[in-house]
Structure formats: structure tokens, C-alpha cells
């Protein structure tokens, strides 16, 4: 599996060997501020392009995972802007009076 983040390559592995080494993958964590929205949009695309009832069932699984992420964020109060080591660090110092929304 080819992760978008270098620091994920040794942390997540396909123990069954079903994902080829050169196949790109992307992981969205439960604390990601945009995670639930991303999953809901993905589910919407699956519903809109469904070819059979199984596609709709899969989309509902994705919607359920989005709801679980939303609950996690509210209950655990763990929500953060997505980041990646070495990618998000500002080139110039951010003034103290500038808040990250």
C-alpha cells in the first residue's frame, strides 16, 4: 500500500496481502474535522451512481461510519484540522493574534 503520508507506511499494513504494494490508499482519522463530511460526500456519490442494491447498502455503511466519527468528535472533544508531519509547518512564524479556525 502506498500511503499519502510517509509516517503511515510502517504503522498500517495489509496483513492479508489484498492491497498491492503500489496501490495508493488514504486514511481519514476520526478526529479529522472534515472526516464526517468527506465520508458523507463519498456516500452521496455512491448512492447517485449505484448499480445495484448492494451499492446502496455500502453507502449506508459509509454514512454510519460518518455518524460514528461525528459522535466521537462530540463525545471525546477530539477534533483537529488535518495535518501531516513536514507538510503543514508554516514557513514563517504565525503571529500570536492569528487564530487557526
Query: What are the extents of the domains in the chain?
Result: 1-29, 31-80
pLDDT for the residue numbered 54: 96
Q: What is the pLDDT of residues 37-54, one digit of tens each?
A: 999 999 999 999 999 999
39 with 28: CB under 8 angstroms? yes
Report the chain's terminal Cα–Cα distance, integer Å: 33
pLDDT for the residue numbered 91: 47
Per-residue pLDDT, averaged over 65-94, amounts to 77
Band (85; pLDDT cuts 50, 70, 90): low
Helix (H, G, I), strand (E, B) or coil at 77: coil
Range 45-72 burial, b when 16+ CB lie within 10 A, else e: ebeeeeeeeeeeeebeebbebbeebbeb
Amino acid at each position: 500500500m502506498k500511503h499519502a503520508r510517509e509516517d503511515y507506511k510502517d504503522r498500517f499494513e495489509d496483513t492479508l496481502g489484498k492491497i498491492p504494494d503500489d496501490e495508493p490508499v488514504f486514511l481519514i482519522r476520526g478526529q479529522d474535522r472534515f472526516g464526517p463530511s468527506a465520508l458523507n460526500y463519498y456516500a452521496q456519490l455512491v448512492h447517485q451512481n449505484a448499480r445495484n442494491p448492494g451499492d446502496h447498502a455500502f453507502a449506508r455503511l459509509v454514512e454510519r461510519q460518518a455518524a460514528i466519527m461525528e459522535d466521537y468528535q462530540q463525545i471525546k472533544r477530539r477534533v483537529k484540522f488535518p495535518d501531516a508531519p513536514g507538510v503543514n509547518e508554516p514557513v514563517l512564524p504565525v503571529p500570536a493574534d492569528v487564530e487557526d479556525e
